[in-house]
Amino acid sequence: MAAQPRAGGLTMLDRVTGYILRGVAIACLVALFLLIFVNVGARTFQLASFPWFDEVIQGLFAWMVFIGSAALWREQDHFRVGWLADVLPDRPGRVLAIVVVLLEAAFLIAMTRYGWDLTVRSRALTPILNLPTGLLYASIPAAGAIMLIYTARDFYRAAIGRDPIERMPF
């Protein structure tokens, strides 16, 4: 039996990052489902009321959306219209890929910067649990930074002529 090639350090880090991103998004989704299920049951049978419910749901939803987006970004699974790049010859197609990646980077830089400002400047506390609202907002710069790292990967791929939309192994 032939020995399997060992994954490099960056490949292993990328794979672990993928597992963590998916794990956080899935854990948030499961927690959302369970909390909503319990809340609906409690209200239906008038068993209990959970005043903290909305705060927890908002936090879980924010983290699920932004970290889930980063997971999709890593795996190149987000929505993309690629017909123009497919019909262009190699050189113009590569230029288009580079321009698209640079536009993505510009958006992500703005998102990360303003998300960081929002997180740092937020001084409010949630009404029931008294948690800093910055905890909710922190998902924005965290996901933005992760997506920027993968955008740098996509830029490198586009610059050397590889397809930046090449699928990542989980």
Per-residue pLDDT of the chain (170 residues; tens, 9 = 90+): 444 445 567 789 999 999 999 999 999 999 999 999 999 999 889 888 888 999 999 999 999 999 999 999 999 888 777 778 778 888 888 888 899 999 999 999 999 999 999 999 999 999 999 999 999 999 999 999 999 999 999 999 888 877 666 555 55
Distance CA(155)–CA(145), nearest Å, equals 15
Q: Where does residue 109 fall: left (phi above 0), alpha (psi -120 to 50 degrees), or beta otherwise? A: alpha
And the tokens for 130? 């008294």
Residue pair 33/25 in contact (Cβ under 8 Å)? The answer is: no
Residue 115 near residue 141, CB atoms below 8 Å: yes
